[in-house]
Structure 1
Amino acid sequence: MNESERPRLLQYDRWRLVRLSPVVLTCVIAGLAYTTPPETAFSRLLPAAPALAAAMWPVLPTVLLGTVCLLLMIGLSIVFPDLGTWWTASGIIAVTVAAAYGSHVRLQRERTLFHVRLVADAAQQVVLSPMPRRIGSIEIESLYLAAAAEARIGGDFYEVADTRYGVRLLIGDVRGKGLPAVGAAAAIVNSFREAAYSEADMVSVARRLDASSTRYSVAFPLDGPVERFATALLVQIPHEGGRIEILNCGHPPPLLLNDGELCPLEPTSPSPPLNLAELIGDHYTIDAFDFAVGDLLLLYTDGVSEARARDGGFFPLAAWMRQQPLSSPHELLAALHRDLLRYNRGRLNDDIAALAVRLREPSE
């Protein structure tokens, strides 16, 4: 058996045992009712079995279990004539009818949730399309966690494009949550997919992203005076490595790890967040940094650096990053995923997106 499949099989076995719990409960109650004195009246607990079945079974099996409980009650009344059969039988019938209705409502909600998940998965494919894990000597890995577990996707976004100018990366975060944020993120990502290939410099790419974000905000305005905007980070990596170029539009600075030395790649001059260039000016600054073979570059959204523990403390991302070995991007993000969920005990305050990049030897 594959080691990766074992936890899944164990989870399936546990769920199968849970689904059998109404049958087990019925057998236990019937056994106790038969082996204990009549005045103990364990038989009065039989209505609990169909009530439990409604939480996990379809309508017909729930009704069948209620019928079995009713027949068991009639059988027990033959053995013990003074059990108060009709009162308990009436309770079993009433609970079974209510349980069947509850099972029907639950199934309808599950179908609705299933279709919502299909829509969310489709939206995720639009905004967060599968990324290549390696482009030439550049190794890339991505991580995305939605704050709402059922939502599957939120306002964080990322994309990569292998262009003639180099490998271009985008990561960003739309202010707000829900479908409006997803729509704004999709507009920005789709614009990047076109501009990254056609524009020779990243300033022009940033202006295209800002224009797309502005058009989307005009077409789908928010209620109230709040302005929609998005932070974004553009990175250009030459195919052969060397020096990378970064354009930071109000986004948390990426972290570069090199032989245990951690360097936050801060911008020399701030560039405007997307959709705010008309308000605060459209002056964009590109900074260049060394990026050598073996270096690890981490791009992330503020959901990572601002993840909170129960005591209110932020996740110590810089200190955590210094402790990481120069491993593969996949191992780095797997450790980040694990430690973030452990730090805030599985309760995300915001969506989380991250990209890890490493330059490998061309011969590797």
Structure 2
Amino acid sequence: MVDAGDGVRWLQLTAPRGGPDDLSVLVTRAAPAIGATEIVIYLADYAQDRLVPLLGAGLVRDALPVETSLAGRAFTSLDVQRAVDDADRMWVPLLVGCERMGVLEIVSPAAADPELEAPAREFAVSVAQLLVNRRPYGDVIERLRRRLPMQVAAEIVWGLLPPLTFATDEVMVTAILEPCYDVGGDVFDYALNGDVLSVGLFDTCGHGIKASTLASLVVNTYRNARRCGLDLADTASSIDKWVRSEHPGLFATALLAELDRTTGRLRMINAGHPGALLLRDGKVIRELPGPTALPLGIGHLSRRRPEVHEENLHPGDRILGYTDGITDARSADGDRFGVNRLVDFVNRALNDQLATPETMRRLVRAVVEHQDGELQDDATALFLEWRPRRSPLAHLSDLAAVGPSAVRPQQWSPTPPG
């Protein structure tokens, strides 16, 4: 049986002595350790619609579409894929925890052998970790992921964001941001401290560099308040104060949440933001209360302290937060994407048991297509899920949506506007 251990150890010891540009060559040199003749790294571009090869050592490959290729199927399904007409080739997802980075193409005479799958996955995990660790030391990975020049506003925002997906045995958070190259005001952040997962989703007013600099202030003030141990209400007040001080006349809407991963207790402040949706047993059942506070930056217009809404989640419950760029998206004839279409899309995705990150990717693609590829505003969505501990590997199998249960609550239907 193939053992990836030697190749993994060699990579871990050798890669720190080189730069990000050397990773492709090093991976190719390590290929014989798992019985492969070639190994090629493919990274997902920012829009997550192409897989782009990181090439070296004389290899030649083209970018592959996520929607219509076996490599793309490995990326979206998180399953190893093998070509029916090419028994020597397989594609393995590149994952850091639950963060999807791309895929590995492995060319090996044993590609059709099921026993190669485990060492191939082990090798892919090592490569993914090296990509994350070496990325800050050069620009090759960033350049590769960009199909277009990135505007400064987008550069600021992407530099602020944590990984798009994070999961433990008990919680998952995953988000998506569009457009990729000219974003401005939408930003999110999260952190797990002990048993509390803190999540912030923000939509700053305006566009371009002014919006992104305001977003930078907002998310860093949020982090500072969190790291100083402030509670949710004081965190909202701190952000409100700094926005008013440094950007008078501007504001940001926000969802600020804390989820206790042991009890399922959710605490949330909605500062002028669209209401988050509660999903249970594969259905959207209702909208959570909001707003419970004024947008951050104009809180001084009210004497009330920001109100915290509390919710006891059931195992498997999800919270979907989104910015108004999702629901306000309009087609060429003026038809809004709207809450009804959002709810319908999410319900279908859950019933199809799509992986949660894949649900988010497809949601943003649907919003973009609704506007014929021309977004009028940033479109950001974030899923927060609570699933009590079951097994050490639950977070891998549970990337797929929770399946239908024997008892389904009545499906929630939003009130039509007007």
TM-score bucket of the superposed structures, by smaller chain: 0.5 to 0.7
On the 8 A contact 1:158/1:170 being kept in 2, the answer is yes
Distance 2:329 2:290 in 1: 26
Distance 1:3 1:310, change over 3 A: farther
Whether 1:182 and 2:228 are equivalent positions in the alignment is no
What SS class does the counterpart of residue 336 from structure 1 fall into?
Answer: helix
On the 8 A contact 2:165/2:357 being kept in 1, the answer is no
Q: Identify which of 311, 315, 323 aligns with 2:348.
A: 323
- Greater gyration radius: 1
Q: Structure 2: which 5+ residue stretches go unaligned?
A: 1-38, 44-49, 53-60, 65-145, 395-418
1:133 maps to which residue? 166
TM-score computed with the length of structure 1 as normaliser: 0.62
1:319 counterpart letter in structure 2: D
What SS class does the counterpart of residue 309 from structure 1 fall into?
Answer: coil
Q: Identify which of 265, 290, 297 aligns with 2:287.
A: 265
Whether 1:332 and 2:359 are equivalent positions in the alignment is yes
Distance 1:140 1:114, change over 3 A: closer
Distance 1:276 1:144 in 2: 26
Distance 1:116 1:2 in 2: 25
Deviates more, 1:317-326 or 1:173-182: 317-326
On the 8 A contact 2:154/2:184 being kept in 1, the answer is no
Distance 1:269 1:140, change over 3 A: closer
On the 8 A contact 1:135/1:162 being kept in 2, the answer is no
Distance 1:118 1:178 in 2: 9
RMSD between aligned residues: 3.0
- Which structure shows the higher helix fraction? 1
On the 8 A contact 1:174/1:185 being kept in 2, the answer is yes
Whether 1:155 and 2:216 are equivalent positions in the alignment is no
Distance 1:281 1:347 in 2: 41
2:150 maps to which residue? 117
Whether 1:192 and 2:222 are equivalent positions in the alignment is yes
Distance 1:115 1:330 in 2: 23
- Which structure shows the higher strand fraction? 2
Distance 1:115 1:330, change over 3 A: closer
What SS class does the counterpart of residue 231 from structure 1 fall into?
Answer: strand
Distance 1:174 1:320 in 2: 26
What SS class does the counterpart of residue 247 from structure 1 fall into?
Answer: strand
Distance 1:287 1:265, change over 3 A: farther
Q: Structure 1: which 5+ residue stretches go unaligned?
A: 13-112, 219-226
Distance 1:345 1:269 in 2: 31
What SS class does the counterpart of residue 244 from structure 1 fall into?
Answer: strand
- Number of residues of Structure 1 aligned to a counterpart in Structure 2: 254
On the 8 A contact 1:244/1:288 being kept in 2, the answer is yes
On the 8 A contact 1:157/1:171 being kept in 2, the answer is yes
Distance 2:62 2:292 in 1: 51
On the 8 A contact 1:184/1:217 being kept in 2, the answer is yes
TM-score computed with the length of structure 2 as normaliser: 0.55
Q: Identify which of 239, 247, 268 aligns with 1:246.
A: 268
Distance 1:309 1:297 in 2: 27
Distance 1:283 1:7 in 2: 48
Q: Identify which of 245, 251, 256 aligns with 2:278.
A: 256
